[in-house]
Amino acid sequence: MIRLQNDLLSLRAIESEDIDLLFDLENDLDLWKYSNRSQPYSRDLLQKYIANAHKDIFEVRQIKFAICTLDGIAVGFIDLFDYEPLHHRAGVGLVLREQDQNKGYGKSSLELIALYAQKYLQLHQLYANIAKENQISIQLFEGQGYTFVGIKKDWNFYEGQYHDENIYQKMIE
């Protein structure tokens, strides 16, 4: 697996040492509404996920990277999902620990994942589905050249009501 790095952070394959962070982020109730989740992941299931993370993106249609500071501390994850090699596109998902937000890690991670997607997967575009009220994510993705292209009305149901989800795209060629 290649290792992507810039002057702020690196992206690397997820490893068994990431289990605690993955467990905490995947089971953060405040984040479930943005990830279409309604039940927790067990530590055992996540360990199996990590053990199978080496599988080829062509087989499983997704890849997840740990976002790490230059001294090797994992602060979050970024993934490509719904990979479509025929159409040269994939979705992007990003999550950071709360204490590591607003430090430039999101911006740097999106830059690195776009380089990876273009150079190693020959992707033409990336997309992101972002809850309409998630202004922090909207600003992050727009700042990295993602363009608003539409709304999925009443797409997700949480907190007792329906919520719209925005669609953003970025052409990377």
Question: Residue 68 is inside which H or E element, if any?
Answer: strand 63-69
The rounded percent of the chain whose pLDDT value lies above 90 is: 75
* Cα–Cα distance for residue pair 31/166, rounded to 1 Å: 17
* Cα–Cα distance for residue pair 50/54, rounded to 1 Å: 8
- Strand, helix or coil for residue 4: strand
Instruction: Give the model confidence (pLDDT) of 13-49 as tens digits.
Output: 999 999 999 999 988 888 887 877 778 888 888 888 8
Phi, psi of 86, deg, nearest 5: -60, -40
Q: Which pair of structure tokens corresponds to residue 112? A: 């690195």
* Cα–Cα distance for residue pair 15/67, rounded to 1 Å: 12
Phi, psi of 128, deg, nearest 5: -140, 140
Q: What is the mean pLDDT of residues 126-146?
A: 96
> For the chain, which residues make up each domain, given as ranges?
4-171
**Do 27 and 86 form a contact (C-beta atoms < 8 A)?**
no
Entry pTM:
0.91
* Cα–Cα distance for residue pair 39/68, rounded to 1 Å: 27
Edge-first strand listing for the sheet containing 74-84: 4-5, 9-13, 63-69, 74-84, 89-96, 125-131, 161-171, 147-158
SS3 letters for 116-171? HHHHHHCCCEEEEEEECCCHHHHHHHHHCCCEEEEEEEEEEEECCEEEEEEEEEEE
Q: How confident is the model at residue 83 (pLDDT cuts 50, 70, 90)?
A: very high
Q: How confident is the model at residue 60 (pLDDT cuts 50, 70, 90)?
A: confident
CATH topology of domain 4-171: Aminopeptidase (3.40.630)
* Cα–Cα distance for residue pair 24/41, rounded to 1 Å: 10
